[in-house]
Amino acid sequence: MSKQVVVVIGAGGMGEQIARRQGAGKHLILADFNEEMLASKAAALQIDGFEVTTHTVDVSSRESVKALAEAAAAAGPVVEVVDTAGLSPTQAPIGAILNVDLLGVAIVLEEFATVIADGGAGVVIASMAGQTYPGLTPEQEFALATTDTDALLDLPFVAEGIADPGAAYGLSKRANQLRVKYASIAWGQRGGRVNSVSPGIISTPMGQQELEGPSGVYMKAMIEGSGTKRIGTPADIANTVSFLLSSEASFITGIDVLVDGGVIASVTTNPPAFLTQGA
């Protein structure tokens, strides 16, 4: 019998932690756009006893994601899929963020809905930025959830209404949360489940880059004002992902789980001065 297959898209800080948490005793397929990093992470996992296959993928390309899904299904029953791929506002311009963080997630949800095994589950890594993205009408949210994937970037408020990379990131992450709701129906038709996890400020290379960027002072203030008063770790996210993928979460699908150490709770009930002053 073929081993069960776990697919982790994005080999960075959270992706590697999740791969180590979920991949033992299974056939782990690790996918990323960065071939050099992908090879390095896979080699480290293999040294530690994991059975790993690598696959280069561009999540913004349907053909590329479809090839990954087909390769995963050919390797065995696809029981877990985790999409951690994403670009932050300090890493990329508006167009790249929309292609990877918004369109890419929609494509992954659609293509893996056709190969997920009965009883399998998926998780998309969204962001707390999606929890407070401002100004969307109910009609716009419905459009983000249900519009045909190939037409998502043509929605007027997506194509013409994004002012800066931060807004592109927030909109994309809100779309992830909404898209998972809609995708849960298609996944359920194969006996699968799918949810999203919205991390707060996490100590990954991407997170540290954001802390050192223009918004770093605000992020540090949000951490200090939160209930936990600490930055999150990749393990904090992997723990939540592991639960959502497990049989203990068999009645949970189509939802978003916020894992932010209390930042959103704080800024929405006791906002820092820079927010109340309109900074």
Distinct helix (H) and strand (E) counts, the chain: 13, 7
Q: How much is the pLDDT for 279?
A: 41
Cβ-contact 132, 204 below 8 angstroms: no
| Per-residue model confidence (pLDDT) at position 1 | 65
Q: What is the pLDDT along the chain (279 residues), one digit of tens a residue?
A: 689 999 999 998 899 999 999 999 999 999 999 999 999 999 999 999 999 999 999 999 999 999 999 999 999 999 999 999 999 888 899 999 999 999 999 999 999 999 999 999 999 999 999 998 988 999 999 999 999 999 999 999 999 889 899 999 999 999 999 999 999 999 999 999 999 999 998 887 776 777 777 677 778 888 888 889 999 999 999 999 999 999 999 999 999 999 999 999 998 888 766 555 544
pLDDT in tens, 46-56: 999 999 999 99
pLDDT at 166: 92
Active-site residues: which are they?
A: 169, 173
Angle between helices 234-245 and 13-22 (to 10 degrees): 40
Q: In the beta sheet, which residues pair with residue 81?
A: 7, 122
With contact defined as beta carbons under 8 Å apart, do 29 and 6 qualify?
yes
Please tell me the distance from the alpha carbon of residue 179 to that of residue 245, in angstroms, as a whole number: 18
pLDDT of residue 129: 94
Distance CA 115, CA 184 (A): 14
pTM: 0.93
Predicted pLDDT of residue 219:
80
Structural element, H or E, at residue 9? strand 5-9
DSSP 3-state assignment of 199? Answer: strand
Q: Which residues pair with 27 in a beta bridge?
A: 5, 51
Q: What is the pLDDT of residue 83?
A: 98
